Amino acid sequence: MTGSTANQDGYIGKRLGRYEIDSLLAKGGMGLVYRGHDTTRDKKVAIKILSEDSLRNEQMVRRFERESGIVQKIQHVNVAQIFKTGLDEGIPYYIMEYVDGQSMSELLSTKGKIGGRCSIDYLRQTVLGLREAAKYGVIHRDIKPANLMLSNDGTIKIVDFGIAKAMTNDSFQTATGQVMGTAMYISPEQARGEEVDLRSDVYSLGATFYHILTGKPPFDEDNPVRVMMLQIQEYYQPVYEVNPKVPPKLCNIIHQMTEKDPNERYQDYDALILAIDGIYSTKADDSTLRFGGTSPASSDYGRSPQTSEYITHNTDTSESHPIPGGYNLGPAQNQPAAQSAPLRPPLRLGKVLMRVLGIFVLLVIIFLGFVFGPELVDLVTGPDPDDYEHLEQQKRLEEEALEQRIREISE
């Protein structure tokens, strides 16, 4: 290796107080993460050291110091803890909890996708960690599979608060108009460079678990700018189309988390936890598939998934799976199975009357067609085709302007 990376490798075998650096674990946006050993307590730790390249960037140094300050405040089982911060020859570092496991990104690379009670367990744990961060006014802004660590005991740990933003007064605020985050999981408002709140993390978490449940991100393209435009303008393929085994209620939760309009998403983490806890409820009041707004999904999106075939990647369901915070999904056989739901609710009297009225109006139009002939045809055929061409041209111009703005604020 050359440059700063080679210099950073010089840390292996070095001691930072009572902490001894063993090996390189990962390379991050601001620095390198090493596995270390606490010689006093005889336990593994992770050591994050700011790279020399980042050290030359004052903003990077402030972000690094800020990350350690933020996470030290958050004491929660689902957030990787920071134990100590310090300087080594003028280079900042901090000692953090070592997660003996793998990231969700690594798990997806081997499993393809993760289903069943495990996915619901992981989603709920992550929400609990983000809720605790929100109590301190902290928005993560880069929730993605790589930043969710899964320990060997099944505990989710949220890591890398490097671009987190405080919702309260802060001496280091990212300027409006600057895009930070990962394109495949970024919220529409974050992609536009607008001010964000916890609902942006809700979107990113929904996009992350879309990937976990289906095996692919909502928009899977190589061009980050193109992906951000899709996040802003387009709807992805519904969860239940990609993986029909996902329970309807879980599909609805992911779809609502990833609504384009923040006001249509869950407004706080308590509401989201309540929805997650209701997935295995015996009540069938929210099992109608919904997508792209508050309207039930139409039958065009396919039949309702059969949840009896929905299996976890861990096939041992004889034991309960406890979740930090007192939540327990319990043995599989004790959980009421989510029932496949009709895509349309039963017809009510009002809907019957509306259909009768619609048929009557259609008959009237047909009658008027015989009486007035071509004049009526012109009335019902809509605008001139040239008008549609004009609208399409205007839409293309708007898209080009949006793409240009995203490029400018991303640079």
Catalytic residues: 142
DSSP character string of 255-304: HHHT-SSGGGS-SSHHHHHHHHHTTT-S--TT-S-B-SSSSBPPGGG-SP
Can you state the angle between helices 248-257 and 269-277, rounded to 10 degrees?
170
Structure-token match 């901090």, residue found: 94
DSSP character string of 185-225: G--HHHHTT----HHHHHHHHHHHHHHHHHSS-SS--S-HH
* Joined tokens for residue 114: 């993760």
Do the beta carbons of residue 79 and residue 71 sit within 8 Å? yes
Query: CA-CA distances (angstroms) from residue 15 to 149, 199, 397?
Result: 26, 41, 58
Do the beta carbons of residue 48 and residue 65 sit within 8 Å? no
Length, in residues, of the chain: 411
**Cβ-based neighbour number of residue 24 at 10 Å:** 15
Measuring CA to CA, which residue among 232, 254, 139 is closest to residue 188?
232
Structure-token match 């911060």, residue found: 85
Structure-token match 């989201």, residue found: 272
CA distance 130 to 132: 5
